Amino acid sequence: MSDPNLVRFTKTHEWVRPEGTGEAVIGISDHAQAQLGDVIFLELPAPGAHLAAGQRFGAVESVKAASDLYSPVSGEVLDVNQVAVTAPEIVNQDPQGEGWLLRVRLEGEIPTGLLDPLAYDAFAEGDSH
């Protein structure tokens, strides 16, 4: 796994982690999965889909709520975590590890306005999401 300090977060509770040259992995934060409760369904784009930073790319449903997912970056979907699709509880068990959602080929750089882990933790503590 990459350096956890390279992970960046959105204020809508998605994370992005650079992986190799020009690629990144996207998922939801531990805070988000805790607020949602037991995840029961994921709606994710197919490989080849184009993501635009800040735009909706799917949804996550739990026993308590459904929430849209927003892309932290622009790029092309290279891979979808099929384990998470068929067994969405992995998102609750390991949201920033085995519960990742998408692997993307980045279009440009990871946006500079995203939150680092410390800033995100401070934001999430004050969020009643």
Burial (CB count <10 Å: 0-12, 13-18, 19+), residue 104: buried
Which pLDDT value is given to residue 126? Answer: 85
CATH architecture for segment(s) 12-110: Beta Barrel (2.40)
Neighbours of 101 (CB within 10 A): 25
Chain Cα centroid distance, residue 113 = 16
| All structural domains of the chain with their residue ranges | 12-110
pLDDT in tens, the chain (129 residues): 456 668 999 999 999 999 988 999 999 999 999 999 999 999 999 999 999 999 999 999 999 889 999 999 999 999 999 999 999 999 999 999 999 999 999 999 999 999 999 999 999 988 754
What is the pTM assigned to this prediction?
0.93
